[in-house]
Amino acid sequence: MSGVATVGKSLQLLFLISSTIIIINCLSSSCSQEGDDLLEVVRAWNADIPTSWVPGTGPCQANWSLVTCDLNDLSIVALNLSNIGLQGPVPAAISNLTSLQSLDISNIPDKEVQLNAVTGDLSALAPLQPNLQELYAGFNYLQVDKYPEVIYNLDNLVVLKTDNCLIPGPFPVALTKLKKLQVLWLGNNSFTGPVPSELGNMTSLRELAIWGNDYKSALPPELGNLGNLTYLDCQNCSLWGSLPSELGKLKNLQRLYLNTNTFTGPIPQEWQDLTSLYILDLQANYVFGTVEPWVLGLANLSQLFISYNQLQGPLPSIINNTNTRATAIWINCNYFTGEVPVFGPTIVDYLDSANCFDTTNENILSDTYCARRLNCQGFQQDVTQNGCPPCPDGQYLANSTLCICYEAASSSSSKKFPVGVIVGICIAVVVLVLALIVIFLLLRMWRKRTQHESRHDYFEDELSAHDILKWETPKGVQRYSFQDLANATDGFNNAREIGSGAFGKVFVGTFPDGKTLAIKRSSTVAFSARSQKEFRNEVLLLSRLHHKNLVRLEGFCDENRLQILVYEYMKNGNLHGHLFTRKGARYLDWYKRLEIAVQVARGLDYLHSFADPPVIHRDVKPSNILLDDNLDAKVSDFGISRETPEFITHVSTRLAGTAGYIDPQYFLRRQLTPASDVYSYGVVLLELVTGQKAIRKNEQGDELNLIQWATPRLEEGGIEAIVDAQLEGNYPKDIYLDMAQLAVRCAAFEKDFRPSMKMVLSILEPQLEASQPVRPIPSNDDVILQAWSSTLPGAETTPNHSDGGPVSNEISITVLEPR
C-alpha cells in the first residue's frame, strides 16, 4: 500500500510541475499575447476595459470576465461583449483571436446597462471562419445597405442572430447554404421578399425567426421540410395566402407565431399532427372558417390566440373540455355565433368583445371596437351571398372554395397579351400624351392672359379647371356636405366645441344614423386653388395611413372654400389630460404607462417604416396622443397643410412643433429626420415615467426642461429620484429604470446617438410581454387589449379632439422621399 501511495504522490507532483511549466510558458508567450490582442480589440472598439482585464496576464489564467477558455490549451473560445459600449465597425485586431467559437456583440434589452453600437459589414470576422460556431449581433444598427456577405462564408455557424439590426435589402437567400445552422434569427430588420423556398433546405434548423420584415409574399410550403424545428416566428411580415398545410409535418414544433399578417382561408386540417405545439398565435389575420374540435384538442396546446380574424360558427363543448391543457384562449373580434362559451376556472380568456353570440350582455363590446369592415349582420349576409368574406385591400380571391386571397398583382402577372394589342396600346398612349401636352400649353396661355384678374376670379377659374379632373374621394373616406356638418354641430355652436389647436376648432357632432364624430374646422378660408389641391392631397395621404395606433380619417368637407376633417369621437381625450390634469382624469398605473409607451412607439414606427410614403409626425406630445375607452393609445393630429411655398412632398424645413418637444438639431439646422420624432418621443416617455411636464416652472418661477432636470438625478439617485410620486412606489424598478434610460437616449442632443423607433420597440416590447406573461381577465372599466407592433388590417384609429396642453406653433405632416 505504501508503494501505491508513493506512486500517487509522484504522479501528483509530476502533474503540478507540468502545469506550472505550462502556465509559466503561457504567461511569458502566447497566452499573454492573446490577452494583449483582446485588449487591442476592445480599445479599438472604443469600449471601457473591464477591471479584471490586467495587461500582461493571460485571460485564461487570470480569470478575465466575459471570457471563456478551453482548459486544455488555455485559448479563448468564447467572448461575451454584449452591452459593454462597443462603438463602430469590428476592428481588424479580432482576426488574432482565431480560436473563437462563440462571439456575442449584441445588446440585450432587459439587461441594458450600456448599449453597443456596432456598425459596418462585419468583414473583419472573416479570419474566424474555421472555428466560429455562434455569432450574436442582434440589436445593433449596422448602417449597411445589404446583409453582411462575410457571414455567408462562416460555414461552421450553428447559431446566428442578426435580429433587430435594421438591415435593408432582399431576404439574404445565401444564408440557406449554411447547412449546420440550428438557430437563425433575422427578425425586425428591413428585408423585402419573397420568403425563399430555399429555407426548406436548412433541415438542421431548430429555431427560425424572420418576423418584422416586409416580404409581401406567401409562406413557402417547403418550410414543412424542417422536421427539427421547434420555434417558428413569422409575425408582422406582410404575408398573404393560405396558412401552409405543410406545416403540419413539423411534429417537433412547439411555438408558432403567424400573427399580424393577411393570411386567409381556414386553419388547415393537417395541423392536427402538431402534437408538440403549446403556443399557436394567428391573431390579426383574415383567417376564415370554423374552429374545429381538434384545435383545442391538440395534446400540448397551452395558449391559443385567434383574435381579430373572420372565424365564424358556434364554439362547441370543446371550450368547456376539462381535459384541455389550455391556460389562455383569446377569441375576441371574430364572428362566432351561438351561446357564449364558458371557460374553465384555470383558463384566462378574452372573448367578451365583438363576436356574434346570442346575448344581450351590455358589456359585450361593439364591432367598431374591433375595427371590423363588416358588422355581424353584414358579414353573415356577405358570406351567404358570395361564399367568402371580402379579401384584404390589394388582394383578390384566388380560391373561392377555401377563401384564399393573394396579392392583386398576382392575378394578372401571368397573362400574356398579343403583340398587336400591345402595339395598339402604345400608340394610344403616345396619342394621349401628345393631347395632354397640347392641353397643357393651351391652359398655360390662358393663365397668362388672365393673370391680372382678381384673386377671387383666379380661384374660381383654376379650381373649375381642376374639378374637370373629377377628383375622386379616397376609398374608405366619406365626403360630407357643409350642411351635414352644420346640422350635426347645431351650426357649429360654441356649446359643441371640445377643443382647439393650430388647425382650428374641434366640435363634437351627432349624425342622424346615431354616430358621434369629432369635426375639425380650419380657422382659415382656402383662397386659392393651390390651397384646395394641397388639402385634397392631405386627405388622400391621411386616408392611406391605417394602423390601430394611429388616427383614421372618417371623412372631410372641402366646399365653400372650407377645410374640415371628420374623425371618430373619443370620450377619453388625450394623454396630457390624464397625466397632468387630475380632475376627471383616469389613474394610469405603471403597466398602463408602459403599454401606452409601446403603443405610441408602434404608431410612430409605422409612420417611419411602413407608411407609403413614409411620414414624419413633427409634433409628438401627450396632447396628440389619444386614449380610447380602454386607455389604449393612438397617435393623432398630423395636421393640415396650408397654402405656403414651403409645402413640399419630402422633408420640410419650416420649423414646426411645440416647445419642450422640438428636436434641437431640427431647431438649429432645420434638418428634419425621423430622429426628430424620436427626440419628441423620448420626452413623452420621460413624462410617463416622471409625471412631470416637458417644461414647467419651479417655485422661483424659472422654467425647467424635463430632460435637463431628470438626467443628472437619474444618474445620481436612480429611478427613485425621478419616478412619478402618483405611483406610490407601485412599479417595477428595473423596467422603469430601462424606460428612463431609453427616454434619455431618445432625447440625445446628437441625432446619431438616438435609436430608431424600431429599436425602441425591440427594447420595450419584451418588457411589456415579460411584465404580463398571462393576460388578465378584462373588466368593464379597464379592458387591457394586447397591442401588436404592426399594421392591423383595417384597424380603427381615432383623432385627438382637444389639445388640453401647450398649443404648438404649427402641426403639419411631412412626407419622406419614397424608399
Q: Quick: pLDDT tens for 47-62.
A: 989 999 998 888 988 8
74 to 23, 38, 43: CA distances (angstroms): 9, 14, 23
Give the per-residue pLDDT at 492: 86
pLDDT value at 468 more than 70: no
The count of structural domains within the chain is 4
**Structural domain ending residue among the three candidates 535, 568, 601:** 568
Whether the model clears a pTM of 0.85, i.e. scores above it, the answer is no
pLDDT value at 407 more than 50: yes
Q: Are residues 213 and 245 in the same domain?
A: yes
pLDDT tens digits along 147-159: 999 999 999 999 9
Residue type, 725: A
pLDDT tens digits along 198-229: 999 999 999 999 999 999 999 999 999 999 99
**Structural domain ending residue among the three candidates 386, 411, 436:** 411
pLDDT value at 127 more than 70: yes
Give the per-residue pLDDT at 792: 32
Q: Are residues 548 and 607 in the same domain?
A: no
pLDDT value at 787 more than 70: no
Q: In this structure, is residue 224 part of a structural domain?
A: yes
**Which of the residue ranges 179-183, 509-513, 515-519, 644-648 has the most confident prediction, judged by mean pLDDT?**
179-183
Q: Are residues 509 and 602 in the same domain?
A: no
DSSP 8-state code for residue 740: H
Q: Are residues 320 and 344 in the same domain?
A: yes
Give the per-residue pLDDT at 710: 92
622 to 596, 618, 683: CA distances (angstroms): 11, 13, 10
Would the annotation count 251 as a binding residue? no
Cell numbers that stand for 590 in this block:
405603471
pLDDT value at 143 more than 80: yes
Give the per-residue pLDDT at 467: 46
Give the per-residue pLDDT at 615: 86
Q: Are residues 285 and 365 in the same domain?
A: yes
Q: Where would I find the beta strands (DSSP E) of 193-292?
A: 207-209, 231-233, 240-242, 255-257, 262-265, 279-281, 286-289
pLDDT value at 459 more than 50: no
Q: In this structure, is residue 180 part of a structural domain?
A: no
CB atoms within 10 A of CB 129: 14
pLDDT value at 177 more than 90: yes
Task: State the average pLDDT over residues 247-253.
Answer: 97
Lowest mean pLDDT among 348-352, 710-714, 811-815: 811-815
pLDDT tens digits along 638-667: 643 333 233 232 344 445 668 888 888 776
Q: In this structure, is residue 422 part of a structural domain?
A: no
pLDDT tens digits along 60-83: 888 899 999 998 888 999 999 998
**Non-local CB neighbours of 498 within 8 Å, separated by 6+ positions:** 506, 507, 508, 518, 801, 802
Q: In this structure, is residue 722 part of a structural domain?
A: yes
Domain that holds residue 45: 16-143
Q: In this structure, is residue 315 part of a structural domain?
A: yes
- CA 633 – CA 787 distance, rounded (Å): 10
Residue (of 462, 426, 470, 469) closest to 446 by Cα position: 462
- Crossing angle for the helix pair 674-690 and 590-605, nearest 10 degrees? 170
Share above pLDDT 70 across residues of the chain, in percent, rounded to a whole number: 73
Answer yes or no: are the C-beta atoms of 79 and 86 closer than 8 Å: no
Answer yes or no: are the C-beta atoms of 700 and 74 closer than 8 Å: no
pLDDT tens digits along 265-298: 999 999 999 999 999 999 989 999 999 889 988 8
Task: State the average pLDDT over residues 19-38.
Answer: 60
Q: Are residues 519 and 615 in the same domain?
A: no
Strand 504-510 and strand 497-500: pairing?
A: antiparallel
Q: In this structure, is residue 172 part of a structural domain?
A: no
562: CATH:
3.30.200.20
Q: In this structure, is residue 454 part of a structural domain?
A: no
Share above pLDDT 90 across residues of the chain, in percent, rounded to a whole number: 38
Answer yes or no: are the C-beta atoms of 229 and 253 closer than 8 Å: yes
Lowest mean pLDDT among 93-102, 306-315, 544-553, 648-657: 648-657
599: CATH:
1.10.510.10
Q: Are residues 96 and 205 in the same domain?
A: no
Give the per-residue pLDDT at 811: 32
pLDDT value at 22 more than 80: no
pLDDT tens digits along 107-122: 876 544 568 889 999 9
- CA 54 – CA 33 distance, rounded (Å): 12
**Structural domain ending residue among the three candidates 382, 411, 440:** 411
34: CATH:
3.80.10.10
Q: In this structure, is residue 3 part of a structural domain?
A: no
Q: Are residues 587 and 537 in the same domain?
A: no
pLDDT value at 466 more than 50: no
Give the per-residue pLDDT at 413: 37
**Which of the residue ranges 102-116, 242-256, 294-308, 555-569 has the most confident prediction, judged by mean pLDDT?**
242-256
pLDDT level of residue 548 (50, 70, 90 thresholds): confident
Q: Are residues 24 and 54 in the same domain?
A: yes
* Burial environment of residue 540 by CB neighbours within 10 A (0 to 12, 13 to 18, 19 or more): middle
pLDDT value at 173 more than 90: yes
Q: Are residues 506 and 641 in the same domain?
A: no
pLDDT value at 796 more than 70: no
Residue given cell 501505491 in the structure block: 4
Give the per-residue pLDDT at 769: 82
Cite the active site residues. Answer: 619
Answer yes or no: are the C-beta atoms of 465 and 602 closer than 8 Å: no
Give the per-residue pLDDT at 105: 96
Q: Are residues 351 and 488 in the same domain?
A: no
Give the per-residue pLDDT at 501: 66
Lowest mean pLDDT among 252-261, 442-451, 663-672: 442-451
Q: Are residues 603 and 670 in the same domain?
A: yes
